[in-house]
Structures are given as structure tokens and as C-alpha cells.
Amino acid sequence: MWHIQDIYSKPSYLLLSYRKHITIDKGNSLCHYNENMSLGISARLKYPKKHELVKSQSQSQILASKLRQDGTMSTVENVMQAVDQVAALLSSVNVDPTISYKESIINLYQHLKVYGAYLEILYQDQLNRAFVVFRNSSQDDVRLDYLSRLHLLELIELRAKQWKGTDLMNQYYRKKVNQCVQEDLSVRCINST
């Protein structure tokens, strides 16, 4: 029989092998866990399974070596540098009206749609920091035009879906981009007359 002290002092991968029947003493009541019940998320988060840690680390190493063999690792690294540069531009305190972020964001958007899944595996922490900036900047209508903010929102949604967009999502953003282009053209026609 395992007691509550034993559960929090043992790594979860050891406990999982003994999950057939565990009794935990919680004050006056006893809780019985059998193979159909979970130990709880706190115990699993506190002691991640060793094979999961090894798997994620080896997965990034395998991917990096495969990308080097294919000759695309430098491209992936360049895309990550572009992510960092755009995030640095967007997070700067000084708002320079002469800087056009549009080309940088569109370029980044096109590359992240292709290489985003690779970056997620290789540079997840850097992407986390950059996407906080992207999320905040997508609400900044002073610095960014509508199309740039739309591309940032699409990137945020793509990342949330593990870089696998759906047809409905693609249709939605394509429709919004077309509306933006139509409005931009109509504004240019009015200003030219």
C-alpha cells in the first residue's frame, strides 16, 4: 500500500508501474486508485516521464541533423533570425512613422507558414517570446496597418493549431486579405481623383 508521502516522494514513472491498486490516506478518508484512475496532473507535472524528456530532446537533435543533411538548416536559422528581428522591431519603444513593417511581416508570414513547425521543435522558447510580442502588436493600430495585423493574427492561430491550418481558416483569412486589398485600391482611386 502506498501512502500520500510515498506518492509525492517517488517519480511518477515509478508510480505508474504500481498503479494497479494504490491507496492514499487523505485525512480521515481513504482514496483508492486503480488502473482506470489517474494519479492527478500535479504528480505528473512534478515528475515528468523520463522517456518524454528524452524523446523531445532527441527529436530536436534528429530534426536538426536531418535539416543539415538536406541543406535547409541555414534557411530555418535565417527564418528564426527574421522572427527575432521583427519581434525586436515591434517591441521597440520608439515609434518611427517612417518604418514600414508591412514587408517584414509579410516576408515573415510566408516563411513561417513553411518552416514554422521546424522552428517550433528547434526554437520553442524563442518562439514563445516572439509570439508574445506578435500578439501584443496585433492590437497596435498606430504602428501597424490592418494587413500586417491580420497576418500576425493568422500566424498566432496557425501556431495554436500546431502549424496545420484548416480549409475554413484559410478561406477566412483569404477573404479578409481580399477585402483589405479591395479597400486599399478603392482608397487609392479616391485619393488619385
What are the pLDDT digits (tens) for 60-70?
Answer: 888 888 888 88
For residue 164, report the phi and psi dihedrals to the nearest 5 degrees: -120, 95
98 and 184 in a single domain? The answer is: yes
34 and 116 in a single domain? The answer is: no
- Of the chain, the percentage scoring pLDDT greater than 90 comes to 41
In a domain, 164, yes or no: yes
What does the pLDDT look like over 85-144, one tens digit per residue? 999 999 987 777 677 788 899 999 999 999 999 999 999 999 999 999 999 999 988 888
Judge whether 95 and 33 are in contact, CB under 8 Å: no
Judge whether 28 and 6 are in contact, CB under 8 Å: no
Tell me the C-alpha distance between 143 and 37, whole Å: 52
Residue 100 confidence (pLDDT): 75
22 and 81 in a single domain? The answer is: no
- Of the chain, the percentage scoring pLDDT greater than 70 comes to 65
Q: Is 85 helix (H, G, I), strand (E, B) or coil?
A: helix
24 and 95 in a single domain? The answer is: no
In a domain, 51, yes or no: no
The pLDDT confidence band at residue 58, using thresholds 50, 70 and 90, is: confident
Tell me the C-alpha distance between 90 and 104, whole Å: 11
41 and 134 in a single domain? The answer is: no
The pLDDT confidence band at residue 192, using thresholds 50, 70 and 90, is: low
In a domain, 11, yes or no: yes
27 and 73 in a single domain? The answer is: no
Structural domains of the chain, count: 2
Domain hosting 14: range is: 4-46
For residue 18, report the phi and psi dihedrals to the nearest 5 degrees: -110, 25
Residue 187 confidence (pLDDT): 67
79 and 133 in a single domain? The answer is: yes
Judge whether 134 and 160 are in contact, CB under 8 Å: no
35 and 61 in a single domain? The answer is: no
In a domain, 8, yes or no: yes
86 and 134 in a single domain? The answer is: yes
21 and 115 in a single domain? The answer is: no
What does the pLDDT look like over 40-57, one tens digit per residue? 444 444 444 433 434 456
Tell me the C-alpha distance between 86 and 121, whole Å: 20
In a domain, 112, yes or no: yes
Residue 26 confidence (pLDDT): 41
